[in-house]
């Protein structure tokens, strides 16, 4: 196979004096965007691109993951079935060490949960169906029930307790009907060239003495605080606890997105014995009921909701490998989170990433390219509850926190002392991790995660992938997904820059996150680009460079958490 270095060639078109030439050369080598001298096997990249773009199976994988095995709520029977399907599929491809790897800490999900039936409707004064879904880990209705709707928007305990004895069997709407804005801007967008160029410039903090545009300064009152309890240390009134004691049939909420969309959530630690049926309703149907109640018109609602709990589910991550050759003891990883919320089938969040990364493994195996390092896939469980699965995996295999030092009598700040980082031998042999978790949108580049040394390397790698649309680097961090589990212990972990498409407007945690929201061409490109990055990482002579680790808990003077 033909292997040759890629580098930018500087052509001298004008005669320069020695002093000027020296100055220009110094300026050029200082540019952070300059490509590195990276050895790139173009023949193998061509095989990867051909397999990924001409023989793609990524949409079929995504359909199985969503249409057949969605949703995949963490701890549910659904994600167990999805995991078993993924294992069986990758074994067919001849991957090694394919398994559902149990978490070390099985205590994070005391119970699993699944919705098996959802029916909600208004029956008077006019009958109409109501679009909604139960919040996760909340109970159902134990059959068909019917009750009067009541609007209680106050959080004032004194006012609410006056309703004692009047709420049994009623459905409580807990907020005023929201104003729903029109779609004034396109819901689906791609990054423009100008936006991508702007990402390449490191963000600047505000200069001292200059207020940011629109900043209210320290004297501004934070929203929601001004009306808080006047007694320092007072325990806020617990509305749901009161409603539970009063025998309320269920609690209804909504959000202002409208257009039939609503977001969903829930807590895996919620105790069903002290929980109420909690239902999120689309704004149009919620608002219709609420406005009738504001007119003092009685409204009757009926519901038949079956939610089933599963005690102590086995929590796992899906793993698989392609063994390396001469550097097989060194590891390159790629991954995405496998779990989803449950109001739809979890297509863009995150079957899109999981299917693309499974497909990347299939591409690498089917194309027959040589991999010096072992390539390992991780599909993470429990991401939606705080990156739990990837953190558990990283702590087991690479680095975790030891016992913290004894706390002093008075500890300032948040969270108390942090234990030392305890690294396994595998930490030193870890080459890099690549993650997809920003929806179906095409990969346009990479977030460097503050690791400046990888910039020239990635820039060289992107050059032969420009025809697939990946062209830009963002020097900073993007947060909230599983690459942070690796980055947080000093390992090179990266998330790709992706076109937003409809992610933040229609699909992310919304009830419309279905297979139809996936973009097939973007999905094919994403799997191919991920395979190429993993291939190039696996075959470098050296591991990817690492950045200096921040002190535990350090956020900087002007930076908060992600």
Pick the CATH number of 113-182+237-310 from 3.20.20.105, 3.60.20.30, 3.50.30.30, 3.40.50.2300: 3.50.30.30
Topology at the third CATH level for domain 38-109+313-402+421-539? Aminopeptidase (3.40.630)
For residue range 352-402, list pLDDT tens digits in order: 999 999 999 999 999 999 999 999 999 999 999 999 999 999 999 999 988
φ and ψ of 300, to 5 deg: -110, 135
Residue 346 and residue 349: Cα distance in Å, rounded?
5
What is the tally of helices (H) and strands (E) in the chain?
Answer: 13, 20
Instruction: Report in angstroms the alpha-carbon separations of 545 from 24, 168, 188, 200.
Output: 27, 63, 36, 20
To which H or E segment does residue 122 belong?
A: strand 111-124
Q: Where are the alpha helices (DSSP H) in 200-301?
A: 239-246, 283-294
Confidence at residue 224, expressed as pLDDT on a 0 to 100 scale: 36
Q: Where in the chain is the domain with CATH 3.40.630.10?
A: 38-109+313-402+421-539
Confidence at residue 248, expressed as pLDDT on a 0 to 100 scale: 98
Positions in the chain short of pLDDT 70: 1-35, 202-203, 210-234, 407-417, 551-562
Secondary structure class of 340 (helix, strand, coil): coil
Tokens linked to 37: 């001298």
For tokens 């460079």, the residue is 545
Confidence at residue 37, expressed as pLDDT on a 0 to 100 scale: 86
For residue range 453-507, list pLDDT tens digits in order: 999 999 999 999 999 999 999 999 998 999 999 999 999 999 999 999 999 999 9
Q: Where in the chain is the domain with CATH 3.50.30.30?
A: 113-182+237-310
Q: Are 376 and 388 in contact (CB under 8 A)?
A: no
The pTM is what?
A: 0.87
Q: Are 530 and 357 in contact (CB under 8 A)?
A: yes
């Amino acid at each position: 196979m033909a292997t040759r270095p890629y580098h930018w060639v500087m052509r001298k078109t004008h005669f320069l004096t020695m002093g000027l030439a020296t100055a220009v050369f110094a300026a050029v080598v200082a540019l952070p965007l300059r490509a590195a001298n990276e050895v790139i096997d173009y023949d193998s990249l061509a095989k990867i691109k051909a397999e990924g773009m001409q023989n793609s199976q990524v949409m079929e994988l995504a359909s199985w993951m969503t249409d057949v095995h969605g949703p995949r709520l963490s701890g549910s029977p659904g994600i167990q079935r999805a995991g078993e399907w993924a294992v069986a599929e990758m074994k067919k491809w001849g991957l090694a060490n394919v398994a559902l790897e149990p978490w070390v800490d099985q205590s994070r999900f005391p119970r699993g949960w699944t919705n098996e039936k959802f029916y909600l409707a208004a029956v008077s004064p006019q009958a109409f169906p109501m679009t909604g879904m139960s919040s996760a880990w909340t109970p159902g209705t134990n059959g068909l029930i019917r009750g009067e709707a009541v609007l209680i928007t106050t959080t004032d305990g004194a006012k609410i307790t006056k309703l004692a004895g009047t709420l049994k069997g009623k459905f409580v709407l807990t907020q005023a009907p929201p104003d729903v804005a029109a779609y004034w801007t396109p819901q689906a967008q791609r990054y423009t060239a100008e936006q991508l160029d702007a990402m390449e410039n490191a963000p600047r903090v505000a200069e001292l003495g200059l207020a940011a545009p629109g900043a209210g300064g320290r004297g501004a009152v934070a929203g929601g605080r001004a009306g808080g309890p006047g007694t320092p240390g007072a325990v806020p009134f617990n509305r749901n606890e009161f409603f539970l004691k009063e025998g309320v049939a269920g609690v209804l909420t909504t959000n202002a997105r409208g257009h039939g969309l609503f977001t969903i959530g829930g807590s895996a630690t919620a105790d069903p014995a002290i929980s109420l049926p909690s239902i999120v309703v689309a704004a149009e149907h919620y608002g219709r009921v609420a406005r009738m109640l504001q007119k003092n018109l009685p409204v009757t609602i009926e519901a038949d909701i079956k939610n089933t709990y599963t005690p102590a589910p086995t929590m796992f991550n899906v793993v698989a490998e392609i063994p390396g050759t001469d550097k097989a003891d060194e590891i390159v990883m790629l991954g995405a989170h496998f779990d989803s919320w449950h109001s739809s089938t979890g297509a863009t969040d995150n079957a899109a990433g999981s299917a693309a990364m499974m497909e990347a493994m299939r591409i690498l195996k089917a194309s027959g390219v040589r991999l010096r390092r072992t390539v390992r896939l991780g599909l993470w469980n429990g991401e939606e509850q705080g990156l739990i699965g990837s953190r558990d995996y990283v702590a087991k295999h690479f680095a975790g926190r030891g016992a913290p030092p004894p706390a002093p009598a008075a500890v300032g700040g948040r969270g108390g002392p942090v234990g030392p980082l305890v690294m396994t031998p595998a930490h030193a042999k870890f080459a890099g991790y690549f993650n997809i978790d920003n929806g179906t949108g095409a990969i346009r580049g990479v977030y460097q995660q503050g690791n400046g040394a990888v910039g020239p390397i990635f820039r060289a790698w992107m050059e032969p992938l420009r025809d697939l649309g990946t062209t830009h680097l963002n020097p900073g961090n993007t947060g909230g997904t599983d690459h942070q589990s690796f980055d947080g212990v000093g390992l090179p972990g990266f998330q790709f820059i992706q076109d937003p498409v409809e992610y933040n407007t229609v699909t992310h945690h919304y009830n419309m996150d279905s297979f139809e929201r996936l973009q097939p061409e973007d999905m094919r490109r994403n799997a191919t680009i991920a395979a190429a990055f993993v291939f190039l990482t696996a075959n470098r002579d050296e591991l990817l460079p690492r950045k200096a680790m921040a002190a535990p808990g350090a956020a900087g003077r002007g930076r908060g958490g992600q």
